[in-house]
């Protein structure tokens, strides 16, 4: 069937694009829950599926029609611009604004407002730098335009919402309340949570107080709601993951490699594993479960790496087993050592015949002698 051309725009019937052409990306957090991964690297720059996590967010924004992104930086702010430059490699125009003191989510948004070019009534996309999602960004912007909202929020449903902020809505999707981290059954009135992606009407950003810490979750959104502003929720239950913990970050990277989490920035074909150019993997080593092996890393004979991330220059020696873990830059996992659900910091050395499990974190540069730690018998 031949498509019919869209009617030309007229003064009486303008044609609006559903795209938001500008975005703010909040990348200033210290990532303390991710240590030791974030000792030398800001959270958005920790590699996931072979590239800094921020690359996935920027690529998805560009694919959704965004042209101009302002990065709100703070912790280790100096590492962003040398890597991404002006953003032209991603088809974007990037600018960087650094907070001299932490300003919170709302304060960070207000602090970069002077770099935006949008008209007062235009939509501005706001993304948190630690959320991996398959959100239909144009649909959220389209909902924002269609409803005439002041702010629109991506909402997702979770089985246990106690660790999140609940966002109940009326039958039309209009937000009725913000309930931060409820604990009692009576407080859990919905399974809808704030998923960390917003569309602001540009003029609303200027109402956020300048020069002081402001939380959009605890101050901006509730205050606007109380003042009668229109806050719209859009439930999108595609892939969503908060990468705030090491376990979640490793899982997110594996899901990107496996293709469960969508991203145009994965540097290779999605599948059971991803080996970047310059890595060396023994012929009899086994990689599976979304494992990513970065450039310069070495996987020894008979080693098994499952659902894990092995960063640049790291070594997994012969016979070692690494499962659901992250091995930092330049780290060494000794022969026959078992690593499960662990984070091994940059430059750490875990000697042969160790067994590290259950969320253990080995700090950057630490050295664990051979056969020093076990969770089971050595027989």
Catalytic residue numbers, as ranges: 181
Nearest to 107 by CA among 214, 220, 205: 214
Beta bridge mates, 54: none
DSSP states of 301-317 as a string? TT-EEES-EE-TT-EE-
DSSP alpha helices (H): ranges in 103-220? 104-111, 137-147, 202-205
Q: CA 298 to CA 248: how far, in whole Å? A: 24
Cis peptide bond prior to 36, omega within 30° of 0: yes
β-bridge mates for residue 102, sequence order: none
Identify whether the C-beta of residue 297 lies closer than 8 Å to the C-beta of residue 333: no
| Number of neighbours of residue 379 by Cβ within 10 angstroms | 3
Measured between alpha carbons, how far is 13 from 30 in angstroms, rounded to an integer? 47
DSSP-derived letter for residue 217 is I
Helices 53-63 and 246-258: angle between axes, nearest 10 degrees? 50
- According to DSSP, the residues that pair with 124 across neighbouring strands are 200
Q: How far is CA 288 from CA 96, 132, 255, 322, in A?
A: 38, 21, 12, 11
Distance CA 183, CA 262 (A): 32
């Amino acid at each position: 069937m031949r498509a019919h051309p869209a009617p030309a725009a007229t003064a009486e019937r303008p044609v609006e694009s559903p795209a938001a052409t500008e975005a703010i990306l909040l990348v200033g957090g210290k990532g303390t829950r991710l240590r030791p991964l974030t000792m030398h690297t800001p959270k958005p720059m920790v590699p996931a599926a072979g590239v800094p996590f921020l690359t996935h967010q920027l690529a998805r924004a560009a694919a959704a029609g965004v042209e101009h992104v302002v990065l709100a930086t703070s912790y280790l702010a100096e590492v962003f611009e040398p890597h991404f430059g002006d953003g032209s490699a991603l088809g974007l125009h990037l600018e960087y604004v650094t907070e001299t003191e932490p300003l919170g989510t709302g304060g960070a948004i207000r602090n970069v407002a002077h770099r935006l070019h949008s008209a007062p009534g235009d939509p501005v996309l706001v993304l948190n730098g630690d959320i991996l999602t398959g959100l239909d960004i144009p649909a959220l912007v389209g909902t924002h335009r269609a409803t005439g909202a002041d702010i629109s929020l991506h909402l997702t449903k979770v089985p246990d919402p106690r660790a999140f902020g609940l966002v109940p809505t009326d039958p039309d999707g209009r937000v009725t309340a913000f309930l931060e981290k409820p604990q009692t059954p009576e407080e859990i009135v919905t399974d809808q949570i704030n998923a960390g992606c917003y569309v602001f009407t540009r003029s609303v950003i200027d109402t956020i107080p300048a020069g002081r810490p402001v939380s959009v979750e605890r101050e901006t959104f509730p205050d606007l709601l109380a003042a009668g502003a229109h806050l719209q929720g859009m439930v999108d239950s595609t892939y969503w993951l908060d990468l705030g913990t090491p376990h979640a970050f490793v899982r997110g990277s594996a899901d990107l490699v496996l293709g469960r989490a969508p991203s145009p920035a994965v540097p290779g074909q999605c599948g059971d594993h991803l080996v970047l150019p310059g890595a060396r993997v023994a012929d009899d080593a086994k990689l599976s479960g979304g494992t990513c092996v970065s450039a310069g890393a070495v996987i020894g004979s008979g080693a098994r790496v499952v659902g894990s991330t092995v960063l640049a220059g790291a070594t997994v020696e012969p016979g070692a087993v690494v499962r659901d873990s992250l091995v930092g830059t330049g780290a060494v996992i000794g022969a026959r050592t078992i690593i499960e659900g662990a984070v091994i910091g940059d430059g750490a050395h875990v000697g042969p015949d160790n067994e590290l499990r259950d969320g253990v974190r080995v700090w950057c540069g630490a050295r664990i002698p051979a056969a020093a730690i076990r969770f089971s018998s050595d027989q």
